[in-house]
Chains A and B, each alone.
Chain A
Amino acid sequence: MSYLLAFLVGGGLTALGQLLIDGTKLTNAHMMVVFVVSGAVLTGLGLYEPLLEVAGAGAAIPVSNFGYVVTQGVLQKLQAEGLFGLFSGIFSVAGGVIGAAILFGYGIALLFKPRG
């Protein structure tokens, strides 16, 4: 059941992104920004967490989840450290993905050359 929900919600979110791209003049990169901002705002409104509980990776794999983890990290650090959390929390949860993208990205960019 968790696999079906992940497939349906993950597919639904990306299909929505495709419709928005086709219906506007936005590029893939613009749409990624739209998704992360939406993820952050929905987290602020308390709506992203329930979506994650229902859809699992269906909500965690689209980049909207990046907006969620930044917001979540800042919220946790605000509660623990006060206003300094506005800075210290930004990458406290989101850091794994950024770190992985930079490390793997750098390594693979050096090892592989573009084809075609």
Chain B
Amino acid sequence: MGDLQGAQFQATVEAVRPKPDYIGNALRAFLVGGLIALLGQGVTEYFLAAGYTTPQAGARAAVVMVFLGAILTGLGWYDRIAQFGGAGAAIPVTGFANAVVAPAMETHPEGTVMGTGSQLFTVAGPVITYAVVAGVLSALARWLVLGG
């Protein structure tokens, strides 16, 4: 082995690094993401049958799914689903709940206030920030162009 430097080292690392199993990962994500959406559809249909409008039923179903994601994370089951499903578990709203609960569950030397209280927003912080910025700009643009 000569001394590998800079770009040469990078090229060697890239060549030896195993390529991800694109197809397998995508299929597992499809299965898990699809099943979570299917469950969400079932919960939505329940609220529709109870007489709520579509937006009301959707909002209630989202809260139920957040609860499910949070409790399964607490029980340690969501990690296993995520290991199998990857983005299929991360992208649904249950994965958002998982990203809120998981970092907050660890015992924090900073304590319950500065530890748990802030760790809830480790992932939720960036997600909420970008949703707000993009949402306000998109809504403003649409309002200015179409008036609604």
Contacts and interface: CB of A to CB of B under 8 A. Distances in A.
A67 B135 contact: yes
B96 A32 contact: yes
B75 to A, nearest CB: 7
The binding surface of chain B is classed by DSSP as helix
Contacts of A60: 40, 44, 58, 61-62
A76 to B, nearest CB: 9
B29 A78 contact: no
B41 A58 contact: yes
B127 A11 contact: no
B36 A10 contact: yes
A4 to B, nearest CB: 9
Given A101-B100, A104-B97, A86 B106 contact: no
Interface of A: 2-3, 6-15, 17-19, 21-23, 28-29, 31-33, 35-37, 39-41, 43-46, 56-58, 60-63, 65-67, 69-75, 78-79, 86, 89-90, 93-94, 96-98, 100-102, 104-106, 108-116
Given A97-B62, A114-B102, 15 more contacts: A10-B38, A11-B37, A23-B22, A35-B91, A57-B40, A65-B93, A67-B131, A70-B132, A75-B142, A90-B132, A94-B135, A96-B59, A100-B67, A105-B100, A110-B112
13 contacts: A15-B26, A15-B87, A44-B138, A44-B139, A61-B94, A63-B93, A66-B93, A71-B134, A75-B143, A78-B139, A101-B100, A104-B101, A106-B104
